[in-house]
Amino acid sequence: MAMTEPQSPRRILEFLVAAGVDMIVGDEPVNRLQPPPPLPERQAEASPGRAAPAAPTPAQAPAALRAAPPAPDDAIMQARLQARSAASLEELATIMAAFDGCALKATASRLVFADGNPQARVMIIGEAPGREEDETGKPFVGRAGQLLDKMLKAIGLDRSGVYIANVVPWRPPGNRTPTPQEVAICLPFIHRQIELAAPDILLTMGAPATQNLTGRKDGILRLRGQWFEVDIAERKIPTLATLHPAYLLRQPGQKALAWRDLRALKARLAAE
């Protein structure tokens, strides 16, 4: 019987990268929704004449003993209250950077807030950051972002003429799809971001961004090319759904559909 040769470390790493595993979060799984265990009681009183050791600060405490994220319903309520309190995009970014209600923050490197021009007429919204976005803190900077730049250039736009953000501002581990719970916690922030930026038109890229902002449940191939109205703070913002650049990298034959959508966006901008 032929013996199976052990795979080399290089082959193993290549397999993990192909599977989307490009970051080591920890050696052991952690349930971040579980309440932390109680601190152990002191075994003996401090010796006479010697002060008891100071309790560790939250920053010094082990990760397992730090406060767990709030329950999902509480986190959603906190997100709504804190998002509403932001009077500017700068304040909103500061609030989101300090927000601990979404477990994704614990595994992401940084908040990915926005890129481009906040005064632009068009706001582009994707789903969530990837690895390159997590490293730089800016949305759409990887291969999908480079394709987006080419798409915008084809209709006479660039990043100075659009404002770009994501529904979820923290990278999910391994670029997995954000859970409905994670999206629900982040929605108040993107709603407030849209309200403060006040664009004339929204361009949603991909099914998750389109579905979560419009409330539609159809797949993106049915939704793309259609105009919707998204209610934001008593405004009805015209919203065009299109294909995500990452999808177009996997399915280049669908670029013709995205080109139709971009031409529709250009025509709408010219008409208004």
Q: Which sequence spans correspond to the domains of the chain?
A: 69-271
pTM for the full predicted model: 0.76
Question: What is the reported pLDDT for 52?
Answer: 44
- C-alpha 145: how far from chain center: 15
Order of strands, edge to edge, in the sheet holding 122-126?
115-116, 162-166, 122-126, 201-205, 235-242, 227-232
Q: Which residues pair with 125 in a beta bridge?
A: 165, 204
pLDDT at 34 exceeding the cut of 70: no
Pairing of strands 235-242, 201-205: parallel
CA distances for 44 relative to 48, 61, 108, angstroms: 12, 21, 40
Output 272 or 202, whichever has higher pLDDT: 202
Q: Quickly state the pLDDT bin for 272 (edges 50, 70, 90).
A: confident
**Rounded-to-integer distance, Cα 128 and Cα 108, Å:** 11
pLDDT at 64 exceeding the cut of 50: no
Superfamily of domain covering 69-271: Uracil-DNA glycosylase-like domain (3.40.470.10)
What is the rounded average pLDDT of the residues 59-81? 73
Token code pair at residue 43:
């075994």
**Rounded-to-integer distance, Cα 247 and Cα 148, Å:** 11
DSSP type of residue 45: P
Q: Quickly state the pLDDT bin for 70 (edges 50, 70, 90).
A: confident
pLDDT at 60 exceeding the cut of 60: no
Q: Quickly state the pLDDT bin for 29 (edges 50, 70, 90).
A: low
Token code pair at residue 271:
């008409």
> What is the tens place of the pLDDT at every residue in 5-25?
556 777 776 666 665 566 555
Helix (H) or strand (E) holding 262: helix 255-271
The percent of residues above 70 in pLDDT, for the chain, comes to 76
pLDDT at 61 exceeding the cut of 50: no
Mean pLDDT, the chain, rounded, equals: 86
> What is the tens place of the pLDDT at every residue in 72-128?
899 999 999 999 999 999 999 999 999 999 999 999 999 999 999 999 999 999 999
The percent of residues above 90 in pLDDT, for the chain, comes to 73
> What is the tens place of the pLDDT at every residue in 192-217?
999 999 999 999 999 999 999 999 99
What is the rounded average pLDDT of the residues 157-180? 96
For the ranges 59-68, 163-172, 177-186, 239-248, the lowest mean pLDDT is seen at: 59-68
Residue 112 exposure: Cα atoms within 13 Å on the Cβ side = 29
CB contact at 8 A, 110 and 98: no
What is the rounded average pLDDT of the residues 32-57? 50
Question: What is the reported pLDDT for 122?
Answer: 98
